[in-house]
Amino acid sequence: MSILLWPLRAAAGVIRSVIKPRSAPAPSRPAAKATPGSSAPVPRAGKHDAALTDLITRRPGLTVAQAASELDLQATSLYPVIRRLQTRGTLDKRGRELHPA
């Protein structure tokens, strides 16, 4: 009886290897560089950082929606920019209003 089951066991191994292929590692983004003297990485500058900083410097107190409208962007695309600028200490968010730090 074991002679008859051998082809089925071999076929099961082949099927498992086809169903669960080994995945290649995902490509990684380059890590943010740490500043000299600290181990914490500094977030890299995004393409909207300077534009948002200039806008908030000229017109403090804008909301995210107003800033997005001025920059012709979706408001949701500005939230990571705002977090990054807050981390750097460039921007201060008070309630809904954005102010230069």
Question: Does the structure show a pLDDT above 70 at 47?
Answer: yes
In a domain, 49, yes or no: no
* pTM recorded for the entire structure: 0.56
The model's confidence at residue 6, banded by pLDDT at 50, 70 and 90, is: low
Question: Does the structure show a pLDDT above 60 at 1?
Answer: no
- Quote the number of domains for the chain: 1
Do the beta carbons of residue 62 and residue 55 sit within 8 Å? yes
In a domain, 96, yes or no: yes
Cα 41 to its chain centre, rounded Å, is: 14
Show the beta-strand stretches assigned E in the chain. 62-63, 91-94, 97-100
Please name the residue that has the structure tokens 């290897």: 17
Task: Quote the domain boundaries for residue 89.
Answer: 59-100
Please name every residue paired with 97 in a beta bridge, in sequence order, or none if there are none.
63, 94
Beginning with the edge strand found earlier in the chain, give each strand of the sheet holding 97-100 in spatial order.
62-63, 97-100, 91-94
The model's confidence at residue 46, banded by pLDDT at 50, 70 and 90, is: confident
d(CA 66, CA 60) in angstroms, rounded, equals 11
- The predicted-structure confidence for 7-42, as pLDDT tens digits, reads as follows 666 666 666 666 655 666 666 666 666 556 666 665
